[in-house]
Amino acid sequence: MDLQQLEPYRAALDGLSAAAIVAWAVAEWGPEQVALASSFGPEDQVLTALLATATPRPRVFTLDTGRLFEETYALMQRTRRSYGLPIEVHAPDAAELAALVGRHGPNLFFESVEKRRACCELRKVRPLGRALQGLRAWICGLRRDQGPTREQTQAIAWDETHGLYKIAPLHAWSEDEVWRYIHEHDVPYNELHSRGFRSIGCAPCTRAVAPGQELRAGRWWWEQPGQRECGLHRPDRPR
């Protein structure tokens, strides 16, 4: 990577709207070289709408862990229909998954942070690596106020792990701004959000939260807040 290029990119994106950042990424690298990683959360749904506006050939991919809520699968279908776009689906390696479950059981993630991370590594992190092959940049729904592990999120960063740029067009948005956009633009969203789920991942590792709890309190709730990441968004350089 040419580290000298990152700062000019950051300067170019400074002060731009989320829609303008998405359009910039498509123009900079082309629609085939930029893809949105979607878990069908509210941020991802906003970005899908923005990307579909920026290019007639948007690339959107998702990681199907095999443990998602049925409501999430239903939203995947609604999103396909709403925007008329194909969604690339990446799943864990079947042999690796069978070996992990055979050794530790299907719900190993409750036993220790290490086993939970091993599950996330196989079901999410490795499929992400395969999904990103051949891309110049990927777009994600990170926001600074999603939790303590994401407070330093910037509009663009260098993904050291995968060797490409990572774009976070909504980095400065609040949760209220996300939902305002969804309602004003009739963006489809997961019906679990109407039942107290603020952040949604795999079904066994996600629960509804009480009013006043932080956004990701329902994710891996048995762990300490600073540990509640699956490994998809490791710290990016330079800091």
Residues assigned a catalytic role? 230
Hey, what long-range contacts does 113-119 have (CB within 8 A, 24 or more apart)? Answer: 113/223, 113/227, 116/205, 116/220, 116/223, 117/230, 117/231
Other beta carbons within 10 Å of 164: 20
What value, to the nearest 5°, has the Cα angle with vertex 235 and ends 229 and 236? Answer: 140
Hey, what long-range contacts does 98-107 have (CB within 8 A, 24 or more apart)? Answer: 107/204
CA 127 – CA 120 distance, rounded (Å): 10
The helix (run of H) or strand (run of E) holding residue 169 is none
CA 238 – CA 69 distance, rounded (Å): 36
Q: H-type helices in 86-238, by residue range?
A: 94-104, 113-120, 126-131, 175-184
What value, to the nearest 5°, has the Cα angle with vertex 181 and ends 176 and 187? Answer: 125
193 CA to centre of own chain:
16
